[in-house]
Structure formats: structure tokens, C-alpha cells
Structure 1
């Protein structure tokens, strides 16, 4: 009886349709819940809801170890959702009662500093690129700019290399692969600035004894769209040949265990993996860039939000681990311990993606590790753990930046201690 009722309800949801793009998408009274999943029936119910209706969106996918997931619910589905929670006895906590209020507060805070580039507000792509031009002009001896490719909509994808001397071990940083994760490009621009301007002895050593290859905004189209149309836009903006839905998840599109776990073949899904590996121009550009410098790279870092995690491969399985997994965890622990020791007291968990976050394949760090032989490859998920989610207020930008700098100092020191920072090429 319940199954028949459930099926009928899901059919109604499936036929509800999707809203069209507006000038600026609003999220009035959209709520975000943390769900504690205790059995497979509960998990199947939630997954089916989110699969059949775009009025639900999974912000944080289910993890078999934590038993938790985060789901955003359209207010038109709130009563139905509550009914499902009660019917299937799903424990839950309301994290965000009104998403639009966070977006509005962010806009107000950004407006206070609208005339200056800095880390008191979130900057647009145009502002970041103008700032980057200024950096390249001010430090021509140690910086080099490049365009690594173009997005689907024809925007330049830019990189900056910072090198004080030849022969340094190399670190590549990929940032803002997901459009809505604004804290990532904010943090990486702060990091670039510190490498060039800081007088701190440790930061100077970090800057001058490593070569840095940094892409501040990889998903340029999605980033612009998140600023102009939909604050929560995740994917890129390449249309599908089989659907009216737009965009793929760039971090499911690398050619490493593509479509094995955690990616969708549905173009309307937020984790749509693309038509084939490297089908997305942004990922093809980034992979070509890394291939061109692979012999100079010792470490790969992907900046993401949110959850406060330092993640290693693998994402496609929790039954196998990299050969140097213990070393990876030792380096990750150095980052987490350094951040937690700061006055903010932020706690970062460490582990593989599949064990700590959720199953995922076709990701950047797995490709870097498996195909490019970059032995230390990580995803760093910045603040927070769900109170604000992707909508981290501008007041937390600088604290997050400071934590990232402190964590990276510790991470690099531990990597060196374990012998991972020996130059990979001979001059």
C-alpha cells in the first residue's frame, strides 16, 4: 500500500516540470537539511526524490561511513518532504531555513566593498582577471601568465606561474571548478598575493623554493553564471545534445574511472559527468595544461567547498587505497592539525574521498595521481560544515584564507620531510 502511494507521489513529482531561467534565480524559503540515513530504504527514497524532481538538490551526497547527506528542498515540496521524513523515520536537522536570506546578506556585504579588490568581498571574474593583470605587471621577474584554453562560451581560462628560481619542485592548484564555490577563487587569489608580497619568513621560503602553477577560476562560464543568474550554479555551461538541460559537472569529466561511481548520465543532474571523458572544454584545457608541465609537478591541489576536508584518492572505491596512502594521510594530517591549532579552531577531517565524503569518479586528483604520476594529489574542501554551505559569508573569507595558508605551510613541510619535494626534472 505504501509502495503504491509512494510511486504515485513520485510520478507527480516527475511530471511537475522545471522552472525556466529568470533574470536572477531566487531561493526564497528554500531549506537545506542534514539527513541521517540509517538503512537502504531511506537512502533509495531520498535518491529517488532527487532523481525525479529538480525541486530537490543534493548539496552533499550520501557517505556510507558518516551516514549523512545534505539536501536542499524547494518550499513547494516542503510538506511532501516532511511527510516522507516522518513516514520513513529519517532523522534530520534543519541547517539553513531560508537560503535566499543568505544570498541577500552576501550581496549586502559585497556591496560595502564594491569599489576595491580584496578579501572582504567576493570578486567577479572580470575583477579577478584585472587584478591578475596588475600582478603580472608588478612582478614580471617571477610571474608568467598564460591562457590554457577557452570555455564553451569563449572565455579565456587563465593560469599564473610563480617561480623565483629554476629547478624548484612544482605544485599545481586548480580552483573554482564548480561555479558556486566562490571561496575557492577568493582563497587562491589571497594565496597568490601572499606568495608575492608577504614578508613572513615561512611564506617567503614557501614562495621561493617551489614553482606554483595556479588556475584561479577553471569553470569560468559557471562562475560568471553564478554571479549573474544563479548563485548556486555548479556545472559548466556547455549544452547537451540529448537534453534541454545545460552543463556538466567538470569534476566528473576527467579520464580516470570515468562514470564508474558518483557521476550521472542524466544531463539534468548536478553531477552529470558529460557525454564522454574530456568532453568539456574546460577539463580538456586543464588536462592539456597539466600534461604540458607534468614532469615538473610534485603535488596537485584542487580547492573546493564545503565540508572542511583534506581528501586523497580514491573516490571510486573504499576497498582499495593508493600505495602511498599512509604518507598521503600524514601530509593531510599536518594540514588539519595546523588549521585546528589556530585561534579559529576549525576542524578538518582527512581520508580518501570514498571513505570521508562520498563515491566519485572522473575527478581531478584521481586523474593527476593515476595518469600523471603526481604522488601527492588532494582535494581540499574549505569552510564550512553546513551552517552556510556554499554561501560562506564574506566575513569568513579572510579567516579561511589564513587557515589555508597555515595548512599549506604545514602540508608542504611534511611533504618535504617525507621526500616528495625533490625536483622531478634535471636542468
Structure 2
């Protein structure tokens, strides 16, 4: 029923032809540990509830979900072994002793114009050029190669309890702003229904801060209409060091929001 191609991490009912799809990634920033936890939770829930959960069963019958559990694997590994608060990739730059770039400033979306740094030592270093980081290049190539079927892009971050959508590299509103906001508010309401956790929805630049080179802006400009960034729990008490006791409730409530978006996309394919 389900299949997992190592080149295309993929969940869905087997089909003789390509189905519309959702691409979801976690762990683009190394220190945001709750993010990879959610992608793993999503895969487990998808596999274990197929056939019993009507919404999940319908989704995976009609669509595929590409899941990238840890986008920035080298950085994530480094946070476990050396520096828990590391954010960037671990690439080396000629002429600099500083390591890595911010993968969420490295996409070709208003690249390095605002909210990003050209200093290789900065946590928001945009890289030497768009897609200079191999992780970004591989994800961008995959989405470009499958853009005819990818109908939604969801990227999971922490923290701040926000559900963001384009744009972050400009304060101009996206062409489909009203619909993006409607879906985000519906997803936030679904999330809040479980534990009362409140999320704020809105375009990235106005809701959190301006930031060029983000993956959601890039995907949207490529033509992926439903493009969203989650900033998971909390709002600052624990920040990136969210305690283990909050992993399960965070994943449970986030699942409701992601399923809401997926259900909307499934019913409004374009």
C-alpha cells in the first residue's frame, strides 16, 4: 500500500500514474529539534492510521506526501555531538574559517537582499550564491523536477507558534494572500482545538521579520500555490530547548493543522 523510494521519500497508495503531491521538510535549522520529531511523527501516524482514519486514508489514496525528515543532516548531527545551538549547515568556505550557511537564506527568492547576511560568520549567512549549499540544491532540484505534481510545500521550524506564508523577502502581499490566510487561520484553529495552543497566522515579513532566501517564498514563486512555514512551540520560555514532555502534544496538535492544510489542498487541486 505504501512505498518509500530512497531517492523520493514518499508516502501514498501505489498508483500506475503520478498523483498530486505535498512536499514537507523538517530540520532545515539544526537546533530546532522539535521539527524532525514532527516529521517522524507524521510518517508513523500516516502508516499506522491508514485504513482507520478517514481523512488520512483519503489523503494517501488521492495524493502522495514527500517527507524529508532532516533537511540539514550535518548540522543536526553537530547539535547532538558538539554544539546544541548550532543553526547552519556545516559546509566549508574558501577564504573563511567560519563554517556553514543558513539554508533558509540560501534559496533563490530575493536572495540576500533583506534579513540575511553576507558575512560567513553570521548565523543568517546567505551563502556564496543561491543554492550554494548542497542540501538546498538537492531539495530545490527535486521540487523543480516534480513541480507539475507538487501542489503544496510545508516546512517545519521552531519556535514562536506561528503559521507563516509568503512573502518574507518583501512586504508586498502574495497574489493569493486571502486564500493563504484563510487556510492558515483554519489550520491554526484546528491546532488550537486540542490543547488550546494559540498560533498567529500571516505573511512572514509582517508576522515575524523580513528574511530573504526562504524556502516557502521560493516554492511559491516556482508555482507551488499552498506554501507554508510552521514555527512550532513555544513562544520563548524554553525556545529551542523544548522539554521532552512537550514533544507528544506538540506533534499531536501540529498533525491536526497539517491534515487541515492537506485536506484543503486535496479538495482544491489546481
- Please confirm whether the aligned pair reaches a TM-score higher than 0.5, indicating the same fold: yes
Gaps of at least 5 residues in structure 2 are: none
Corresponding position of 1:303: 156
* Structure index of larger Rg: 1
What does 1:267-306 align with in structure 2 at a 5 Å threshold? 267-306=120-159
- 242, 247, 263: which one pairs with 2:116? 263
User: 1:254·1:363 contact (CA, 8 Å) conserved in 2?
Assistant: yes
- 188, 197, 203: which one pairs with 1:352? 203
Structure 1 stretches (4+) deviating beyond 4 angstroms? none
User: What SS is found at the alignment partner of 2:228?
Assistant: strand
User: 1:330·1:414 contact (CA, 8 Å) conserved in 2?
Assistant: no
User: 1:253·1:280 contact (CA, 8 Å) conserved in 2?
Assistant: yes
How far, CA to CA, are the matches of 1:259 and 1:231 in structure 2? 26
- 200, 204, 213: which one pairs with 2:66? 213
Corresponding position of 1:164: 13
Corresponding position of 1:327: 179
- 384, 388, 394: which one pairs with 2:238? 388
Structure 1 residue 313, shift from structure 2 partner:
0.6
- Output the TM-score relative to the length of structure 1: 0.61
How far, CA to CA, are the matches of 1:221 and 1:208 in structure 2? 34
User: 2:165·2:180 contact (CA, 8 Å) conserved in 1?
Assistant: yes
How far, CA to CA, are the matches of 1:352 and 1:242 in structure 2? 37
How far, CA to CA, are the matches of 2:165 and 2:258 in structure 1? 15
How far, CA to CA, are the matches of 1:409 and 1:143 in structure 2? 20
- Output the TM-score relative to the length of structure 2: 0.95
Corresponding position of 2:215: 364
How far, CA to CA, are the matches of 2:55 and 2:117 in structure 1? 43
Corresponding position of 1:68: none
Higher relative contact order (CA 8 A, sep 6+): 2
RMSD: 1.3
- 137, 143, 157: which one pairs with 2:3? 143
How far, CA to CA, are the matches of 2:130 and 2:259 in structure 1? 34
